[in-house]
Structure formats: structure tokens, C-alpha cells
Amino acid sequence: MKKSVVSKEYQKLQKDIIQLQEQWKTSLDPDCVRPNLDKAAMEAGVPVTALAAIDFDISLFLQWIEDIGGLLSKYQPEIETSMKSIKSLLDEETAKRWIDEAFAFNYIYFASFAEEHELDGWIPQFVAETVLRPYLQLTAAKVQGEIQSGVHGAGCPVCGEPVRLAQLEGEGKKVLHCPRCSAHWNDRRVACSHCGNNDHETVKILTIEGESAAQIQICEECKGYTKIIDTRQYIVKPTPAMLDLNTIHLDFVAQEHGYKSAGETKQTN
Amino acid sequence: MAEYIKYVDVTKCDGCRACMVACKNWNDLPAEPEEFQGSVQSHAKVTANTWNVLSFIEHEDSKGNLDYLFRHSSCFHCSEAACVKVCPEEAMHYTDFGTVDVNSDKCVGCGYCVQNCPFDVVQLATYKDKNGKEYKKAQKCTMCVDRLEEGMQPACVTTCHTDAMEFGTKEEMLKKAEKRLSEIKDKYPNAMIYNPEGVGGTHTVYVLAEKPSVYGLPEKPKVPTSAVVWKDYAQPIGKMMLGATSMALVGAFVSNKLFNKEGKGHEEDGGGSHE
């Protein structure tokens, strides 16, 4: 029943990255993240990190980039040159810019940065996103107790990442998990996690033969989809990031059927 | 890799049989219409196409009260498995998880595993090839090794709604069994953990409410001596002297001589008495 289309080697690399991020996260001073839990803003769907004060230590940030470079080079030695050139390019100003743009998931900025400095297109954003995540995860860990539910259509209440992964827990409760910051929050079992539509005629389930623990919930209203994984069937629960990666074939299936990871909000006048 | 075991707490089982259904469903096993057993139990015991049977036992406890005991029964996945020991083709083997699985491609249907399993779990299934020729293969619970490889628990465990079954590391599950035993001792004075040493411990460990024999289990199962003899002595010689095709015939002869669960035909002293 081999399901995942992701190679074992890439899975291993991602596990190593997640482990590294966990180490970085625990090495951070917990006070470097000061969330501002503004109830009104949260109810409007503003992610917590947008209003949080985060002290980035640029020297630490650069050290992490070196760490991740070392890890990537272990898997792909030819990356070493790119990582060296990134290190020479990142002065304090550029590092700050990277943080801001990674927060906003500004792929256009990173793509042009890569082009300008003759780097492989994926490297700058991948590296920036990887080193940003421990800060997002620390923020999520700090506010997790206050996060019960999210606002449909607003993505992750902590980091704003579009919703795409839910886990069935306990007696079948649907809990949305963010693969980016590891925050989790509850959602109704039959509701579309993007637009909140709970009409059983238009919220449907796609099942895949041979997949005993996974389904794709789709919404005909907003064309959004959510992967729902019954992690109660696992021996050891994978991290949301690994679960998201290992179920990437479900994203392909959903997207081939015309569904999107961010549902479209209908304009009403 | 950490060793994993299935923990079965029969005192939590309510006899719903969902584990049987989940097993049939996951492993694509055909239905087997059975004669009425005289009780709620559907099958007398596990078969080649029913790897998991819920046994229902009417038991009179020490106070003379009727107790209805349930037991999820399937392969024990012994650490020193007799079936692995006797298999001439190495079709029976240990997986990375410490459980016992059958490699159907290698199995020649000789049936030594069936004769030697102390729990009477392994059975032969009959298949027909496209020319109508019949052949046999050993079949039994695989502990859903295809699921384990994907990091998932066995199908029977995931479906158990009373949490009578759990799957986890050996250390954790044995600790759980000890704790549970101390909780139920007042209610069931004969309660025990069934993890027999004679087969090196098993990968399905039970918390039983009564003595093993009440559940139709051997009190002290062990790998039969004949099984040890076969693998270490008879088989290498047999393989050396004969082509693979004649193995089954000679094997049957040797096994009749050496193996017999009832103990008949097992010439132990070889001398006999001469009065």
C-alpha cells in the first residue's frame, strides 16, 4: 500500500530540516516573540503573527542559514556554491528584507532575487521560509491555548497560511493543522474549511482507492479542498509538515479535479 | 527499529467483531459461510481466509456465576516462531517489526508450519491456477505489515471502539499490560498477562481475565522439539540429497515421523521395551 509519491531521501531531508527547526526554536528566547491577542482583529481573520512583535536576531538568522546550507549540501553537494554566495549577499539590510518577504510569502521578490544573483530559482525562498518557521512555530506554541477556531477564508489564525490539512482526532473531530507554524484549531466536520459552506449537497468527499486513512473534502461553492487525514490510524503521529508532504498526491488529485488549496470567496453585492 | 507489539485487553472487549470485519476488509479475504457453532461465535477458529476470529466463551467463574468471555484471536507473532523454524523455503520470516509474515511467492504449501504452530493459527488456503491445477499456500494474520510499513497501525486495532486493542512499542505496551493487570486483579483473581516464554514471547500480548486454558490457549506453549530437529538436522540433509521438486514428498515422510501435535508416532526413546 505504498502511498506517498515523495522519495524516501527527500522525506529524510525534510525530517532533518524539521529537527533542525525544532532545535532552533528551543534555542530561542521565548520573550523574543510577544503576541498581541487582539480579539477583534482575530475575529476579522488577521493572523496573530501580523500583530506580534518579534525580535529577530540577525546574527542568529545568518547562522541558521549557514546551518541549513550545510544540511542541504550534505544531500546535494553542488548547492554549497549557491549557499556561499547567499552568505556573502546577506547583509543586515537584506536579511531584514528576507524576513519581511518570507512572512508575506512574496515569491516574486525571491524569484527576482534569484535571477539577479544567478541562483537556482527555488533556493532563496526555500531558505528564507525554512529559517523563518521557528519564529512562526514559537508564536503558535505561545498562543495555542487561545486558538480554538479560525475564520473561514482567512487561513491559519497564527500565520495566515492557506488551509489544506485536517486531522481526525478523538471521536472523529476535525482539527485543522497548519504545516507551516504547527498551530491547530477546530472546524466543523461537514463544513468547508475555506468558505464555511455546510450544505451537504455541495460539500463532498473524494476518496481514493487504497487510501484507508485519507480523504479529500471538496466544496462546489468555493472550489476549495482540504485533505482530511485520520491520524488515529498511525502508530506515531507525524508532524503536520511531514503529513502535508507525504500526502502531496492528494493535492495533485484535488487540483487535477479543478479544486484549489485556497477557496475562492464569492463576491456579493 | 523499535519492536512493536499488539496489546489486547480482553476485559475491555465487548465482542462487537469489528476487528474481524476490518481484517477481512483490509486484507481482501473472502467470506466463509460457516455452520452454526451453537453460540454467537461465527467461526470455530481462525482459517486460511479468516485470520481473525472473535471467540465467545461461556465460563463459570469460581463463585459459580456465568461469565461471558471474549477474545480477539489471530496469529501471536512469536519471537521464536516454530513456523519460521520449520519452513523449508524461508517463506515464513520475521519482518523488521519483529512480526511473522508469509512470503507467498516462496511458499510451496508443504504445511509444516501448520503442523508446528503451537497455537493452531497457520492454515493452508487452496487456489487454482488458470489451468485448473490446485495448489496450496500458507495463510495467516500478517499484523497488517503493509500498513505498518506506512507507519499505520493494524486494521483491527484502528477499528476497536473499546480500546481493547492497542499497538505500540513493546516496552510501552508491556507496561500498560502490567498496570491493567493490577487494576483487574480484584475482579478477576486468575487474571494474567499472556506472553509465553516458551516461544520467546509473542508480538500479540494479552491481558486475560482467566487462565489461558479457559480461552482454549496452551498454558505453556513452546517450539516443538521436532521443529528444531527439522530445521537444524533433517532439512539441510534433505536439501543436499534431493532436488527441490521431491522435497515435498520426502518432507511429508519426515514430518510424519518427526512431527505430531498429538504426540503419536513421535519415536522418542527409539528403543521400546523388550520384555
Q: Is B252 helix (H, G, I), strand (E, B) or coil?
A: helix
- Chain A nearest-CA distance from B151, in A, is 6
B-chain residues within 8 Å CB-CB of A234? 151-153
So what's the ipTM on this one? 0.74
pLDDT at B105: 93
**Partner-chain contact A2 B150, CB within 8 Å:** yes
Alpha-carbon gap, residue A198 to A219, rounded angstroms? 9
**Residue carrying C-alpha cell 520470516:** B93
- pLDDT tens digits along B201-231: 999 999 999 999 999 999 999 887 766 665 6
Which residue would you say has higher pLDDT here, B35 or B240? B35
B-chain residues within 8 Å CB-CB of A238? 151
Query: Nearest chain A Cα to B158, which residue?
Result: A233
Q: In the 8-state DSSP scheme, what is residue B232?
A: I
pLDDT at B275: 37
Query: Nearest chain B Cα to A171, which residue?
Result: B161
Chain B interface residues (partner A, CB cutoff 8 A): 4, 26, 146-153, 155, 158, 167-168
Q: Sheet with B4-9: list strands edge to edge.
A: B165-169, B4-9, B204-208, B192-194
Which amino acid, residue A180?
Answer: R
**Partner-chain contact A212 B152, CB within 8 Å:** yes
- Chain B nearest-CA distance from A119, in A, is 36
Which residue among A2, A4, A234 places its CB closest to the CB of B153? A234
A-chain residues within 8 Å CB-CB of B150? 1-4
- pLDDT tens digits along A211-246: 889 999 999 999 999 999 999 999 999 999 999 999
Cα B241 → chain centroid: 32
pLDDT at A261: 82
- Residue pLDDT tens, chain A, 269 long: 667 888 989 999 999 999 999 999 999 998 998 988 888 888 888 999 988 888 888 888 889 999 999 999 999 898 899 998 998 898 888 988 998 899 888 889 999 999 999 999 899 999 999 999 999 999 999 999 999 999 998 999 999 999 999 999 988 899 999 999 999 999 999 999 999 999 999 999 999 887 889 999 999 999 999 999 999 999 999 999 999 999 999 999 999 999 988 766 655 44
pLDDT at A171: 85
